Structure formats: structure tokens, C-alpha cells
Amino acid sequence: MNLSQTSAKDLLGDLASGRLSAVEVMRATLDRIAAVNGRVNAIVALRDEEDLMAEARAADAATAKGPLHGLPIAVKDLVNVAGIASTQGSPVFRDHIPQSDDLIAARMRAAGAILIGKTNTPEFGLGSHTFNPVYGATRNPYDLARSCGGSSGGAAVALATGMLALADGSDMMGSLRNPAAWNNVYGFRPSWGRVPSEPVGDNYLHQLSTLGPMARSPEDIGLLLDVISGSDPRFPLSVDSRNVAPVTPADLTGLRIGWLGDWGGAFPLEAGISDLCETALSVFETLGAQIEPLAPPFEAERIWDSWITLRSWSVAAKLEALSDSKASLKDSAQWELERGLALSAMEVHHASVTRSDWFRRAAALFEDYDALILPSAQVWPFDIDKPYPTEIAGQAMDTYHRWMQVVTPVSLLGLPCLAIPAGFGQQGLPMGLQLFGPRGSDARLLEIGAAYHAETLWPQKRPAI
């Protein structure tokens, strides 16, 4: 059995039955990391091998703690993990070793996962390209000269290369969806509040970013989603939710899916992306779904203006404590901090009104459609030495993140969204789709995705290095 490409479901089943030991899984994991991580730089702050093997032996000797018992997982480096360097990709936190776990890490540890290290991320998670001055850049396993996306780029690459079977990520502006697309894996942005954020600072005002799972199938996504979901009494807007696992393929007969494409030309796409996405849509039709092209349901520029206001306000709230060392931050962090600190209360209010208007319009759409679909990215993976795209199809980008505008309709509303692989373009590079639905439709989206996955098996068909 090739453990590096075995599903999380099968690994955990074999661990629970005793057909596999935690020691065997850990040995295979460390061997795979040794074989490929030097080329892609996805796993960082890897713990000492002897300590990890000892923890695996202890897991074999103990009663199972939970559904992830004995499974190695590396945690995204925006999350504090006790005893492991947690840098957020910033020199400011290069030597930060927390004494306690953040909530998501604590939940995975309590479920029996062995936390082996970190997955790489951009500095403070800003920008959909994983590079930082602490660990350097993470490379795309389908072309080592190209970006892997971000900010959950290390997680996506670790999955694509078989170094991990499950990974956590986070998503504000496509940070799960873009790297999933560019690495031929799945990522899930849950309904906002289903997976609570860390209960520190303000827990009421900022409702843009969420934590979520990544894997090589929707079925495996469901396993981790159940572990990290659930309300926390310290987080006032968290919600209780039923388990989604086991995720089984839905019958798509008669399912109505709205295809939003390039939003009436508002989202320029590089050549080949639209054609590949439409080919992927035909899979849903083969399975019995109805695909209907939709005119733009809301003005894209209004969504964008609302988004960049609320995003800068949220990012600046997190970075305000670093104002005195602003010059040491990456340029995008400085830009967000300056914009956020300059905003007035009424500017934030008007942005929230626009968000509310778009939410009401989207709610009306979901009365007629079971789900909506957009491309996951507007460009193919770009040169790893390029900070971000400055133009798409001849159209200049006016900010460091305008090239990811296609993810903002989902992010602004906190809707559940499954990033699914769409196949490969002419250069052999992966691309993906965003399948999203109304709040609370998390389980249904995973079931729809499972039907698509059973038909395509993209992560299993084109192994990376």
C-alpha cells in the first residue's frame, strides 16, 4: 500500500482496526517529507523525528482518543501550536513558540491527531502566493517554477504530494480555494461561524475569514470538518452544526446549478480557464444536473468596494499592534494597515449595507438554484518570483489582490463553498471551480462534490512529484 496517496478515510480505518500502526504511518509520513519537501518547501518547523516516533508509539499503546487517532497533521502557520514555532511567516514572530494551542489545533489534538509541524503561508496570510521572509517560497508541484497559491499554499502542496492526508487551512479571500485549484485538491470554506475563530480580541465585528479543511476528496474533507466544527462558549457567533461524515455522493438528477462565469466580463480570465471550467461543468450535466448560465446578479464593483473596505478594516484591526514596526512588514500588510486605520465608521457601515444588499439578492437566487459556480481563480499559476499579477488579459490590476476578485462574492457573504478540481490546461497546470450554496448547505455541497469526485478522481489521476 502506498501510504502517501492513501485516503484519510482508509488510513484512519486501518489505524482503528489495527491493520496499520501509528508508527508505520508516521514512518511513511516522515519518509515522504524527506523525499519531496526539499523541492517544494511546504512543511516547515518540522518537529524532531525521534519525538514524533515516540509520540506515534504512545498512540499505538493508548486507547483511541478520537476520530483522528494516530494521524500526522501539520498545521497552517497562522495557527498557534504549543511547542512549535508559530511565525505567521513574519520576522516579527520568527522565534515565537506558543505555550498553548489555538482552538483548531486543540480540537485536532483532542481528536488524536499527531501535530508534526507547520504548513507554509504568506506573511500574515496576505496575498494568494505562499512566500515569506522566514521560510521562503512554496513551489507548485506541477511546475516548480510557479506559485502554489495561498495563503493555504503549504497545506495544498502537502496534500498534492502525499506528505499529508488531511490539512487545515483558512480562507478570507480565497486562501483555501485558490491553492486547492492550483494543486489539484479540494478545499472547503464552511458557513461562517461553523468553525469558530480563536476567541481573542473582538469576536463580533469581523465576519470575513474562516478556518476550514483541505483534502484529496470531499469524503476526507468531511472527516476533518466534523472535528473542527462546533460552537465554543467563548465565541458568541459560533453555531452548533450536525456532523457531515460520512459524506456520500448525492443523486444530481434535476439539480439546478447557476454558472456565473466571468460575471458578465467583470472578472477577466486568462486564456483557457473558461473553456476548462465549462468542460468540468459538463460532468455535472452527465450526472443529471442542469447547468444554466446566469447574468451578473449584482454589480461586481459594489461587491469589490464593500470587500476591500471591510477587509482593510479587519486586517488593520489585527495588525494595529504592529504599527510601530510597520516598515518591517510586507508592502501589502502596510497597505492594508494604512487603509484600515484611515477608514471612518460610516464608511464601514456603508460597506456593510452593500454586503446586506448582496446577501438578500443571493438568498433570492438560491430559491431557484441549488448551487452556483464560479472559477476558483482568474489566472493560471504564475512565476514563483513574481509577487502577484499586475494584469490579466491586458487589463491592469489596481491593487495587489484585484486578480483574485472572483472569490469575493462568496467571501463577502460567509457562504459555504467547496473548491473542486477542474482538470488541467494545455500547459499541464491545474485549475478549479467554486461550488457554493446558501448558509447551512455545507453537507449538501460536500455530497454534490462527492458525486463529481467519483466521476473525475482528479487528485488521484495526476499525481504531483
Task: Kindly list the catalytic residues.
Answer: 76, 151, 175
Return d(Cα 129, Cα 119) in angstroms, integer. Answer: 13
Return d(Cα 129, Cα 463) in angstroms, integer. Answer: 22
Instruction: Tell me how crowded residue 462 is: count the other CB atoms within 10 A of its CB.
Output: 15
Backbone dihedral region for residue 300 (phi beyond 0: left; psi -120 to 50: alpha; all else: beta): alpha
Residue 436 has phi, psi (to 5 degrees) of -130, 160
- b/e map of 391-409 (b: 16 or more CB within 10 Å)? ebeeeebeebbbbbbbbbb
Pairing of strands 139-140, 143-147: antiparallel
Gyration radius of the chain's alpha carbons: 21
Residue type, 203: N
Return d(Cα 40, Cα 368) in angstroms, integer. Answer: 44
Exposure of 390 in the CB half-sphere (CA atoms within 13 A): 2
Cell numbers standing for residue 436: 457554493
Return d(Cα 298, Cα 300) in angstroms, integer. Answer: 6
Backbone dihedral region for residue 432 (phi beyond 0: left; psi -120 to 50: alpha; all else: beta): beta
| C-alpha 35 chain-centroid distance | 25
Length of the chain: 465
Pairing of strands 256-259, 290-293: parallel
Instruction: Tell me how crowded residue 349 is: count the other CB atoms within 10 A of its CB.
Output: 10
Longest Cα pair distance anywhere in the chain, in angstroms?
61
Backbone dihedral region for residue 235 (phi beyond 0: left; psi -120 to 50: alpha; all else: beta): beta
For 36, 60, 87, 143, 371, the CA distances from 40, given in Å and listed in that order, are 7, 31, 19, 10, 35
